[in-house]
């Protein structure tokens, strides 16, 4: 059976960009602060990622001094970030269950009917496309981690499968894909910050991917590889701050 994502590596510059991104992320894992384990730097990266992801969906990313997060989008994004590690085993075998759990966590404080939490929309072929995405996550493709991660991210942004908290969900799923594919096994990098700082390009590239045209898909893949590199730079700043 042929690899459904293999043709993406033939798009101009994609294979090279994926290799460059992977090399940048691997370099972060070799920094002294991360060779010692990286738990502290990964924790900081997780919080920064959650804040940036919430901000992309219009939330105020600042954490209150008293620790009480009132913004429902930020609160949901932080809950998702906290659950990421525990969801990884299920992600590897049953990603559709993870999509549902992520939605429950992300949308819990939003004005969403409780019966709709964790339930994908029943229209526009959403269920079928989620099933295909799940097959890719669980082994139907052998493309490099940066490419699969970008596809997971872009497809969920395109589908808007739950109709609420879909952006936070898409970026959280991409983070799980980064870990599971070996792109960033310790979750040290923060491409979400790069997406936030380039939000106009992020939105444009996501729309290009949603078009399904080869040039649009290529634009999204190259943009994601760029954010992986920038996210590695963010991780380096975290590691440098943690090094005595």
The answer to whether position 63 is within a domain reads no
Q: Is the pLDDT confidence value at 242 over 90?
A: no
Residue numbers of the domain that contains 98: 6-56+68-242
Domain total for the chain?
1
The answer to whether position 62 is within a domain reads no
The answer to whether position 61 is within a domain reads no
Angle 72-93/95-107 helices, nearest 10 degrees?
170
The answer to whether position 126 is within a domain reads yes
Under the banding of pLDDT at 50, 70 and 90, the label for residue 243 is confident
Q: What is the CATH number of the domain that holds 185?
A: 1.10.3290.10
Mean pLDDT of 23-33: 96
Under the banding of pLDDT at 50, 70 and 90, the label for residue 134 is very high
The answer to whether position 1 is within a domain reads no
Mean pLDDT of 193-219: 98
């Amino acid at each position: 059976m042929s690899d459904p994502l293999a043709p993406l590596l033939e798009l101009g510059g994609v294979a090279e960009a994926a290799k460059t991104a992977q090399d940048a992320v691997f370099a972060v894992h070799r920094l002294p602060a991360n060779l010692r384990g990286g738990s502290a730097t990964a924790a900081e990266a997780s919080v920064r990622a959650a804040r940036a992801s919430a901000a992309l969906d219009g939330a105020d990313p600042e954490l209150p001094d008293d620790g009480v997060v009132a913004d429902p989008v930020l609160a949901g994004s932080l809950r998702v970030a906290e659950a990421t590690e525990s969801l990884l085993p299920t992600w590897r075998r049953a990603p559709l269950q993870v999509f549902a759990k992520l939605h429950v966590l992300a949308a819990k404080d939003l004005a969403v009917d409780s019966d709709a939490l964790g339930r994908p929309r029943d229209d526009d072929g959403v269920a079928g496309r989620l099933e295909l995405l799940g097959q890719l996550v669980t082994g139907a493709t052998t493309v490099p981690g940066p490419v699969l991660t970008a596809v997971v991210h872009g497809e969920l942004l395109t589908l808007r499968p739950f109709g609420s908290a879909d952006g936070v969900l898409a970026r959280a799923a991409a983070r799980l894909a980064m870990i599971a594919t070996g792109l960033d096994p310790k979750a040290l990098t923060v491409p979400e910050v790069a997406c936030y700082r380039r939000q106009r390009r992020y939105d444009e590239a996501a729309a290009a991917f949603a078009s399904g045209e080869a040039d649009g898909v290529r634009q999204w893949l190259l943009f994601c590889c760029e954010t992986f590199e920038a996210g590695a730079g963010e991780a380096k700043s975290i590691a440098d701050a943690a090094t005595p």
